[in-house]
Structure 1
Amino acid sequence: MKPSISIITIGVDDLERAFAFYRALFDIADEQIGAGEDHVAFFFPNDFSFVLFPREQIAQTAGKDVAISGTPGFVLSHQAASPAEVDDILRRVLVAGGAIVTEATQSEWGYSAYFEDSEGNVWELMAQPPAN
């Protein structure tokens, strides 16, 4: 895996407050912002995204209890070229001593999985769905 961090997702306690803060901070057009019930994404040039996500949901995604210290406040994301590459990286994670947090699944956002490195840092692997 050649790391290519294209998405940074940070955990927030108050999505609306965090959105207001980053909206004021970033010099970005409204068309470059996407939002759902549980997230806000800022889309920048060169395929880089900065996403706000509820901290509790990041903990659940990472297989952690919110009350446990060390619950991640961020997720590193690697954009894989294909679902096959996601699966290959997951195999390599296990061989290297990491752990799979969530198995790879297909969703409207693409084919993705989460793993922990040997220190408990959480990574997302994602292959975006093919364009229509």
Structure 2
Amino acid sequence: MKPRINIVTVGVDDLARAFGFYRVLFGLPDEQISAGEDHVAFFLEGDLSLVLLERANLAETAGQGEAVRGTAQVVLSHNAENPAEVDAILDEAVRAGGAIHTPGTASEWGYAGYFEDTEGNLWEVLSGPDAG
């Protein structure tokens, strides 16, 4: 794995309030912001994005069920080249002492899996829908 963080996803209780805060804080033009029904993405410098996602959706996406105290507040994401690389990185995380939280799975967003580090922090490894 070439270590890099491409996306930081933050769970929020009030998407509109959080969007307003970060919009003012970052001062980004509209073309660097993408909003959906349950999320807002800010495209920052380099290949880094900050995504605000409703906390309940973050917990569900991360396979944690109900959003209760102790569920993910932040997920770090690493973009892989293709589904095979996603699986290889998940395997490497296990060899390093981590644990698979959610095996690689195809969805409308591409192919992604989650692993936990030795401290229970959640990482998403993904390749987009257009990746090989």
TM-score tier (shorter): 0.7 to 0.9
- Counterpart residue number, 1:117: 117
Question: Does structure 1 residue 60 correspond to structure 2 residue 60?
Answer: yes
Identity, % of aligned positions? 60
Give the superposition deviation at 1:66: 2.7
1:28-39 aligned at under 5 Å gives the runs 28-39=28-39
Give me the TM-score of the superposition, normalised by structure 1: 0.87
Question: Does structure 1 residue 87 correspond to structure 2 residue 108?
Answer: no
Give me the TM-score of the superposition, normalised by structure 2: 0.87
Q: Which runs of 5+ in 1 are unaligned?
A: none
Give the superposition deviation at 1:49: 0.7
Code of the residue aligned with 1:101 in structure 2: it is: H
- Counterpart residue number, 1:72: 72
Q: Which runs of 5+ in 2 are unaligned?
A: none
Q: Are the equivalent residues in 2 in contact too, given 1:61–1:102 (CA < 8 A)? A: no
- The whole-number CA distance in structure 2 between the counterparts of 1:2 and 1:70 is 29
1:12-27 aligned at under 5 Å gives the runs 12-27=12-27
The verdict on how the C-alpha distance between 1:62 and 1:129 changes in structure 2, with shifts beyond 3 A counting, is closer
SS at match of 2:19: helix
Code of the residue aligned with 1:102 in structure 2: it is: T
**Aligned CA-pair RMSD:** 1.7
Give the superposition deviation at 1:45: 3.0
Give the superposition deviation at 1:38: 1.2
1:63-96 deviation line (CA, Å, top 9, x unaligned)? 33433x4322100111112211101011112222
